[in-house]
Amino acid sequence: MKKKCILLLGLISLLLFSCKKRDVYQVDPTLDPYLQLFLQEAKQRGFNFNVEEDGLILKFADLESPTIGLCTYSNPLLVQIDRTYWKKVTEYNNCEDLRQNVVFHELGHGLLNRSHDNHTMSNTEWKSIMCGGDIVRDRSWQVNFSGMRKKYYLDELFNTRTPEPDFFKYGDTFSGDKGTLVESYDFSENKHFTDADGNVYDISNNAYSITTNNEYNNIVYFHMRKNFTGDFYYEVKVKTKLAGNGDCVGVIASYPTSDTTGVGNYFYISKNNNYNELRAYAGHMQCMQPLAEVILQKDVCQLGNQTETKLAIERSNNELYFYVNDQLIYRNDYMADQKYVSFGLVTPSKNTVTVTSSMCYSKSNGSLRASTENSLSTVFANRGGAIPFNIPISIK
């Protein structure tokens, strides 16, 4: 009898114990691969979670915009991902990066007990994918969770003391190795015309002024080449006075996606009036928003009607380097291994940019053939706003 009683008690306590231990585990099948990827990255770094035992609810929800993910420290842990955002990102090339970013951020709260970390790297990019909360300096919480940065951000997620890699460095100067000059845009012959949209083009005094009439920013290609498949250096000198928030000027290198369409990697400078500072944005036309935002130091450039600013984009070893007045502002490997054929400017809306030089160089000794087109470079259709003006603010 005594034995039976102990056994019974034992059974009861086991039941109680397992009730307490075994919590609800409910993971949406669509989100499960992202959870598994997180657990795998965790395991590689010495973290072993037993989410099935500990309990977890990971599911889609209709979160109030602009919230795209939400972590609630309930029992069990509840992680909700916004259904609309999940669908919206399918339109973009970096869809998987964006999805991983939001799930990993929330699991960073939930499983790693991390709170928001809004420290920045030496180039002002966010230190961690755990950045978030109240808006800081009008900045988006977008993190360049792609390519070579992804490994760093994953390391940092699991170890906040991960040192800053080289590619976050800012202000290195251009090596000066431009390669061979392939084409220099000719501004010697005076030309003037207005297109159907009211954009005005004027070449005079060895300079090319473009006054745009569009509500959106524009792309103007100056060089369109064939068989230009190697590394390159493209440099343009501009004078422009950016009016205000969203106004931007920059460079673009593009490649064809069909006989009539193309996309490219861009790099532009925009002015933030609230903080009276210039910020640089790097991205790819097929991404939802710029991949990165970098706040320029005051001495890098003074965009103005009278001051010439040199903007350049270099491709070397499948990486793109962006320079302003020969200072390295950003390097990025997102979709940087393409066969670039077109080089030009990103121009602001309803504003004037004066180009005093536009030069294209080849850094490899591959076969090159100069394009024969000698017509005026005009505003390329960017009606859909192919280049996002600025990073929309999102909270997570």
The binding site for Zn ion (CB under 5 A) comprises: 132
Q: Shortest Cβ distance from residue 50 to Zn ion (Å)?
A: 23
Q: Shortest Cβ distance from residue 253 to Zn ion (Å)?
A: 34
Which C-beta is closer to Zn ion: that of 132 or that of 264? 132
Which C-beta is closer to Zn ion: that of 70 or that of 148? 70
Q: Shortest Cβ distance from residue 109 to Zn ion (Å)?
A: 6
Q: What is the DSSP string of 132-197?
A: -SS--TT-------SHHHHHHHHHHHH-TTPPPPGGG---PBP-S---EEEEE----S-EEEE-TT
Q: What's at 36, amino acid-wise?
A: Q
Q: Shortest Cβ distance from residue 157 to Zn ion (Å)?
A: 12
Q: Shortest Cβ distance from residue 393 to Zn ion (Å)?
A: 14
Q: Shortest Cβ distance from residue 104 to Zn ion (Å)?
A: 11
Structure tokens at 136: 């800081």
User: Could you give the CA distance from residue 131 to residue 150 in angstroms, rounded to a whole number?
Assistant: 15
CA max distance for the chain? 110
Residue pair 26/56 in contact (Cβ under 8 Å)? The answer is yes
- Integer angstrom CA distances of residue 363 from 36, 150, 253, 254: 43, 28, 15, 17
- 43 contacts: CB under 8 Å, gap ≥ 6: none
Which C-beta is closer to Zn ion: that of 112 or that of 200? 112
Which C-beta is closer to Zn ion: that of 132 or that of 283? 132
- Characterize 216-231 residue by residue with b for buried, 16 or more Cβ atoms within 10 angstroms of its Cβ, and e for exposed: bbbbbbbbbbeebbbb
Residue nearest to Zn ion (CB): 132
User: Could you give the CA distance from residue 317 to residue 231 in angstroms, rounded to a whole number?
Assistant: 8
